[in-house]
Amino acid sequence: MKHKSILMIIPLFLMFTTFCSGFSLFNVNGGHNALLAANEELVFEEPKLVIGRNNSMPVFETGEEGTLIIPVENLHNGEAKNVNVSLVVSDVDKFPFELGKMSLQTSMSSISGNSSASAIFFKMKVASNAESKTYPITVKIDYSSQTGMSGSASDTIYVKIINDDQAPLLKLMGIQLENDQLECGESKTVELKITNAGKMMARDIDIKLAGFTANGLRLDQALDTFSLTEFKGKEFKFIPFKIYADPSMESGSYPLDLIMKYKDEFNKEYSSESKVYLTVEGAGPDGQNKKASPKLIIDNYSYAGEYTRAGEVFPLELSFLNTSQGKDINNIKISLSFEENIFSPVQNSNSFFIDNIPAGGSVQRVIRLKPKVDAANKNYNITVDIEYEDSKGSKYTGKELIGIPVIQEIKLLTSEIEMSPEAFAGTPLAISVDYYNTGRALIRNLMIHSEGNFKVKDGNVYVGNLESGKSDYYDVTITPEKEGNLSGKIVFDYDDDIGRHYQIEKAFELQVMKAQAPPMMNPPGDMELNKEPTWKKPVLIGGGVLALAILGWIIRKRRIMKKEEVSLDE
């Protein structure tokens, strides 16, 4: 039995060892393959970001609001974290989007490894004045990896902008002129037909006519530049210039320079220059243009000074010149009208008549005018309308403009100087004076200071501007240095609106007494019996305080009463 059991165990042992060997071999090969696969997964790569690969070019129109989408890919298996994306603007003028309507930075928490393209979004608005073209835009990305390393990527994407709204473009389209020509020896209004060929509005427009000469075409008005606040797209305007042709000019076409400067809605500046050609009918064999219409102008005027004063009558002298060398002027009516009705005729009308002014002759007339009492400081225009006839009874009209400056007289009133009637050497003394602007004009750059044979503390004061009807006061502390006669003055310096300087001096005098002796010390010992009763001390001190209070109240009351007495009509 024993041997039979051994024989039965042997086959089982062989089967077990064979099975174990196979299992071990299987485990070794499979484990090796699994290890290789695990090693492959453990190979780690830092993230690598690529911007805008295989991206079609975005297209926007000017003024459009939308989203700029920028694709970003991570080519490696390492995750990119804390992703910050920014648009780099090196030249604001070449950036197609409105910076005030967008943020140039955005962020993402992460971009996973081996990912398909992620999208970065920027909300934006295309500038209305952006040109139609393709714009390069630099994109920069900063990020960190899983290992804490930092990285960055930068690339350029391209954006196409389409601008259907054309920028403002001012052009000369032609001229309008009576009989299509100027005649030597006379003035005519030439109207320039200007258009804005663009769609955008033009702003702050200056249209200037230049190229005038002393013996050729001359400007017959005060200003050579016509200014406009705005000029809408596709709009037409007629810009008038009054031009005089010299009597010595020959027939022909003469050029002038047209210079236009303006801005668009975004303050971008534009300018253009072109020529304006005017036809002139020249003089005849005798050097005169017999066909020229007679022209009456104001060749000179005066008003007896550099300015006129509000409320005061002044004479206005006008000189009228017949510019025609061959025709007399008859039945002349002159009418004056005044800006803001600021002037009133005195002892005469605002209209008058002249019977005749011969060819090339002149006539003077004087009219007395009075500005309003409350006229503001400024230059006022007087419009002169002229009606006249030539020898054949043909009627003509003309208009002239002259300017008259009017000023308000400045009035600074001061009160009497207030101070203590007693002064002691070495003892500070307070001085005060009130001042009032009783005129209708602003007092400018008011300064006050004190002068005299004494020391001054904080005596220089700059008030600045003092408006009409306003008042204030000046306080100063002086210290006489020695006894005797003290003389001083308070000086007011100020200007008016046209820069004229004024000065007022308020003088004062005081008799300075010897410095008071210091108070006596308490006597020693038995002399104590001879001193004044102690009850008198508080009485004297209280009386002094009361006297000072009463004096202060009196000074304040007098100042209030003086202010109430001041009248602005002085």
Domain boundaries 170-281, CATH class: mainly beta
Mean predicted confidence (pLDDT) in 160-186: 86
**For position 43, what pLDDT does the model report?**
67
324-330-336 Cα angle (round to 5): 95
Q: In what order do the strands lie in the sheet with 105-111?
A: 59-61, 150-162, 133-144, 80-88, 105-111
Amino acid at 31: G
User: What residues form DSSP beta bridges with 251?
Assistant: none
Which residues of the chain does CATH 2.60.40.10 include?
49-162, 170-281, 296-407, 412-517+554-565
Looking up tokens 């320039």 gives 192
pLDDT, mean over the chain: 82
Structure tokens at 469: 């009807």
How would residue 567 be classed by pLDDT, with cut points 50, 70 and 90?
very low
Q: What CATH number should be reported for the domain whose range is 296-407?
A: 2.60.40.10
Confidence check: pLDDT of 20 > 70: no
Helix (H) or strand (E) holding 139: strand 133-144
User: How many other CB atoms are found less than 10 A from the CB of residue 164?
Assistant: 9
How would residue 119 be classed by pLDDT, with cut points 50, 70 and 90?
confident
CATH superfamily entry for domain 49-162: Immunoglobulins (2.60.40.10)
Report how far residue 342's alpha carbon sits from residue 373's, in angstroms, rounded to the nearest whole number: 9
CATH architecture of structural domain 412-517+554-565: Sandwich (2.60)
**For position 35, what pLDDT does the model report?**
45
**For position 533, what pLDDT does the model report?**
52
Residue 129, helix vs strand vs coil: coil
Nearest-Å Rg of the Cα atoms of the chain is 48
Torsions phi, psi for 124 (to 5 deg): -155, 170
Report how far residue 466's alpha carbon sits from residue 441's, in angstroms, rounded to the nearest whole number: 9
Distance of CA 407 to the CA centre of its chain: 27
Structure tokens at 431: 């001085």
User: In this predicted model, what pLDDT tens digit does every residue of 233-262 receive, in sequence order?
Assistant: 889 999 999 999 998 888 888 999 999 999
Helix (H) or strand (E) holding 119: strand 115-125
Confidence check: pLDDT of 391 > 80: yes
Report how far residue 471's alpha carbon sits from residue 393's, in angstroms, rounded to the nearest whole number: 64
Mean predicted confidence (pLDDT) in 99-127: 86
Closest residue by Cα to residue 407 from 342, 348, 337, 349: 342
Structure tokens at 211: 């190229």
Report how far residue 243's alpha carbon sits from residue 182's, in angstroms, rounded to the nearest whole number: 8
Report how far residue 163's alpha carbon sits from residue 160's, in angstroms, rounded to the nearest whole number: 10
How would residue 554 be classed by pLDDT, with cut points 50, 70 and 90?
low
User: In this predicted model, what pLDDT tens digit does every residue of 198-228 receive, in sequence order?
Assistant: 888 999 999 999 999 988 999 998 889 999 9
Mean predicted confidence (pLDDT) in 92-117: 85
Lowest mean pLDDT among 25-39, 325-339, 481-495: 25-39
| One-letter-per-residue 3-state SS of 199-233 | CCCEEEEEEEEECCCCCCEEECCCCCEEEEEEECC
Looking up tokens 């994306």 gives 85
User: What residues form DSSP beta bridges with 393?
Assistant: none
Q: Which of 23-37, 292-306, 418-432, 535-549 has the highest mean pLDDT?
A: 418-432
Q: Which of 40-49, 114-123, 161-170, 270-279 has the highest mean pLDDT?
A: 270-279
Please, is 122 exposed, middle or buried when counting C-beta atoms within 10 Å of its C-beta (0-12, 13-18, 19+)? Answer: buried
405-224-365 Cα angle (round to 5): 45
Instruction: Check residue 180 and report its DSSP letter.
Output: G
Report how far residue 314's alpha carbon sits from residue 370's, in angstroms, rounded to the nearest whole number: 6
Mean predicted confidence (pLDDT) in 181-189: 88
Contacts of residue 550, defined as CB under 8 A and 6 or more positions apart, other chains included, come to: none
Helix (H) or strand (E) holding 537: helix 536-565
Please, is 413 exposed, middle or buried when counting C-beta atoms within 10 Å of its C-beta (0-12, 13-18, 19+)? Answer: middle
User: In this predicted model, what pLDDT tens digit does every residue of 431-459 receive, in sequence order?
Assistant: 999 999 998 889 999 999 999 989 998 88
Task: Say what the pTM is.
Answer: 0.41
Structure tokens at 201: 């509005």
Distance of CA 75 to the CA centre of its chain: 55
**For position 308, what pLDDT does the model report?**
92
